[in-house]
Amino acid sequence: MAALPAQSGHWAYRPPERPAVPEVERSAWLQNPIDAFVLRRMESEGLEPAPRADTARLLRRVHLDLVGLPPSVEDVLAFEADPSDAAWETVVDRLLASPRFGEHQARAWLDLARYADSNGFQADQLRDSWAYRDWVIDALNADMPFDQFTIEQIAGDLLPDASLDQQIATGFHRTVTCNVEAGVHPEANRVQQVFDRVNTTATVWLGTTMECAQCHDHKYDPFTQRDYYRLFAFFNNTPVEVRNPFGDAGVRYDFYGPKLDLPLSAEQQRERDGLEARRAGLEAERARVLATIDAEHETWLRDLAAAVRSDAGFEVLEVTGFESTGGEDHAILDDGSVLIGGRVPDTTTYRIETRTARNGITAFRLETLTHPELPGTGPGRGDVERPNFILNELGVEVLPQRGGGPAPASAVELTAARADHAQAGWEIEKAIDGKLDTGWAIGGGFFRDHSAVFETAVPVGDEGGSRIVFTLDQNYGRGRTIGRVRLSAFTGDAALLELPADVRRILVAEERSSADLERLRAYHRERHPGALRLAREIESIDRRIAAIEPATTLVMVEEASARDTFVMRRGDYLRPGDEVTPGTPGLLHPFRDEWPRNRLGLARWLVSPDNPLVARVTVNRAWSQLF
């Protein structure tokens, strides 16, 4: 390794000292000590100061410098009417107190922090960093001392009893760009993030291109590669910040933690409080309903048991006519089902006329059945490997009895619908929603029978028998039509349709155990319309409360045990060299024994009055921004 040039005597690496204010010829021009240095240089160059700008221009300059916005016409007219020093100080004080001050000044600092709301690579996923942005604005508006401003951003999480704001401040080093492409190794990504943190810290506070020393000793500044990796060690205790949510077959990584939950916003808290108050009211009402249910339980049990014992179940409807707009063949089988054959049309509508001796019908059942003659055994007709169907809409009408005069058919309103299986996005309810671009499908349930039950809004049918027509619209296309269908009718209490098998068994049993009685009592409570409505409302409110999630922000955390750090040959993390411990460049001021060897100690080293660089770099940056 080549010896470094002796640069320790360079003025930049010596702590700044207050110089004597120089003598100048035009001392009346001076308004503060800094003016003397400016004027001395101008006099040495034979230059004269520019004349004082007019009042409107001065006002515009100070507005743009402090809040980034021009003054209003009213502000200009008021200042031109009174351009006194007192008025000027009032303007400056007002601008410094404006919330726009912190917003404007924060722009330059957030650029240094490489602030962004997304990763910066490939998918460029969004990430939550806005709380850090707001922290910077608030800190500048509060005139936070620069040493505190520094310490909280570098190591706020390591301060004793760190507050929420101090943890949020560490978002400074969570704004690193992050590559989530699947070919990037998580550890390689983490090392690149640590490189960024070292390099950014050196640039922002030391004004030094420290990244040159990632691969070799710095060519122009007195910093070695060992110096670099000793700084690297301060930041090397961070967790891996990407994960593959899809396992080994994943095509990308997700950028995720660590994160910190933020308090709910005032609006969120108001919404949550309102929902919780509403929930408490519903719980009280539900308790009253349950008390009533318990009082009525014996009567309910007697009536339900009688209904189950007399329940006739579903009756298969006799098919008396079949028509199809697709021109298919059909056959009525012995079990009352209709088997459709012949050509497979693109779309079709079945019209199936049936009859029954029943009246007071409260539900219909539609079965789609398999058959050896169907493609793949069905129950759909369009594809051997995927015999799906899509029932876009089911219509039901009760026809007048023959010879009963010209009365029109009566449409039946279908309400609740349920099926033993449905394809995602094609649920059974969509077969009765009045829309021909939705419907019921059975993707994932091919090659087996399926059934759906539809309740009627009111009991239907005529005394002495009923003629009922079913219309099955199937216009999805590509032959997604039903191959075999059977229709049935149910009379009686529609609640029996949902009766669980174990409850039905207990109701018809000659003897009941204490466990059986408790099961019946629980079922009564579960299925009572009033209690069920309240339970659903409470569940809905619980979902809404759960959806009010706190916002999060990215923060720094330390791993429980420190990682070993090595000099990386040529900057390659796969080629470790000598092991190093956390430390700072030997050329600069010493690292005190009372400082911990972590990010908090590094932050205190940065803002130490002995540091020769931070004050120069920070003031020069402010001068550059203002002038």
Concatenated DSSP letters of 394-412: EEEEEEPPTTS-SPPPEEP
Distance between CA atoms of 400 and 466, rounded to whole angstroms? Answer: 8
Residue 5 has a pLDDT of 41
- Answer for the pair 399, 467: CB distance below 8 angstroms, yes or no: yes
Does residue 407 carry a pLDDT above 70? no
Cβ contact 322:471 at 8 Å: no
- pLDDT of 4 above 50: no
pLDDT of residue 257: 73
Better-predicted residue by pLDDT, 181 or 216: 216
What pLDDT was estimated at residue 406?
53
Worst-scoring range by mean pLDDT, 14-18, 85-89, 326-330? 14-18
Both tokens assigned to 408 = 């029109």
Alpha carbon of residue 179 to chain centroid = 20
**Least trusted range by pLDDT, from 149-158, 374-383, 519-528:** 519-528
Reference 320, options 481, 451, 469; nearest CA is 469
What length does the chain have? 627
Q: Would the pLDDT of 467 be above 60?
A: yes
Q: How far is residue 542 from each of residues 280, 441, 533, 536, 547, measured CA to CA in Å?
A: 11, 31, 14, 10, 9
Of all residues in the chain, the percent with pLDDT exceeding 90 is 70
pLDDT average, residue stretch 54-83: 95
In this predicted structure, what is the pLDDT of residue 182? 72
Q: What is the mean pLDDT of the chain?
A: 90
Tokens 């390591």 appear where?
158
Map tokens 């900057």 to a residue: 571
Q: For residue 229, what are the CA distances in angstroms to 198, 204, 475, 574, 593?
A: 9, 18, 69, 15, 20
Task: Give dist(CA 506, CA 519) in Å, integer.
Answer: 9
210 pLDDT more than 70: yes
Q: What pLDDT was estimated at residue 419?
A: 94
Please answer whether residues 419 and 451 qualify as being in contact, where contact means their C-beta atoms are separated by less than 8 angstroms: yes
Query: What percentage of residues in the chain have a pLDDT greater than 70?
Result: 95
DSSP 607: T
Q: pLDDT at position 243, please?
A: 73
Q: What is the pLDDT of residues 293-332, one digit of tens each?
A: 889 888 878 877 887 777 777 899 999 999 999 999 999 9
pLDDT at 464 over 90: no
pLDDT over 90 (residue 254): no
393, with CB counted inside 10 A (0-12, 13-18, 19+), is buried
For the segment 219-246, what is each residue's pLDDT rounded down to a tens digit? 988 899 999 999 999 999 988 887 776 6
The answer on pLDDT for 6 being more than 60 is: no
> Is residue 42 predicted with pLDDT exceeding 70?
yes
Confidence band (pLDDT; 50, 70, 90) for 24? Answer: very high
Inform me whether the pLDDT recorded for 8 exceeds 70.
no
SS3 annotation, 258-316: CEEECCCCHHHHHHHHHHHHHHHHHHHHHHHHHHHHHHHHHHHHHHHHHHHHHCCCEEE
pLDDT in tens, 163-194: 999 999 999 999 888 777 777 788 888 899 99
